[in-house]
Amino acid sequence: MELDLVTGIKWYLVFLFSTTLHEAAHAWTALKLGDDTAYRGGQVSLDPTPHLKREPIGMAVAPILSFLAGGWMIGWASAPYNIAWALRYPKRSALMAMAGPAANLLLVLLAAILIHIGLAAGVFHPPSSPSGMNLTVATRDGLFTFFATMLSITFSLNLLLCVFNLLPLPPLDGSSLALLFLSDETARKYAEFIRSPGFGLFGILLGWKLFGVIYPPIQFWAVNLLYGGRYTP
């Protein structure tokens, strides 16, 4: 039970930082592109407090319950924005949407770099069977084991968050990607369409089913890329 509690704390620390960075990236990008709504709400910050206050269920209750139920964490957060601004500047709103998954991808790449540094230093080695919190294994006990676990969780969780949020289904961030390639008038019509009532719930349900199909091969490819094709299906 003690091990489960320690493991849960590790997962939650990574989840809290990852989701906070994701939403702060949305908020910061919106601010730079002309919408200060999230900035005024305190969301241009790596302090998780304003994000937790905005979405206590998604950032506290859901991840803890999902960990207790399945041994991994999922949840949600959000940053407010001006809908009128988003409709007036659809390409800017698309860049705001893409900033969240980009922040998660940045954490994946940072974890990968640190894992490779550990491998080169001889303090990490590849696992025989990689998993979410076992993507790299420490060759020594103590802090090296802690860092190996935290880097494994950071890589795995942020890869999941990045891929899931890039699905082209509302209300996920990936649904806004098309706005970058449409004319302003068509983009505004598309943006209004994907914000239709009830469309978001349908998108989430469809997204979960689609994610279960596409994510395992993406995860396998990413782990193999990390280790230079070491593993076979």
**Positions marked active-site:** 23
Write out the E strands in the chain.
Answer: 124-125, 137-138
Spatial contact of 173 and 97, defined as CB atoms under 8 Å apart: yes
Cα dist. 120→114, 124, 224, 225 in Å? 10, 8, 17, 16
Q: Which of 66, 43, 80, 46 is nearest to 157 (CA)?
A: 66
Scan for tokens 């009532």, then name that residue.
197
Spatial contact of 91 and 191, defined as CB atoms under 8 Å apart: no
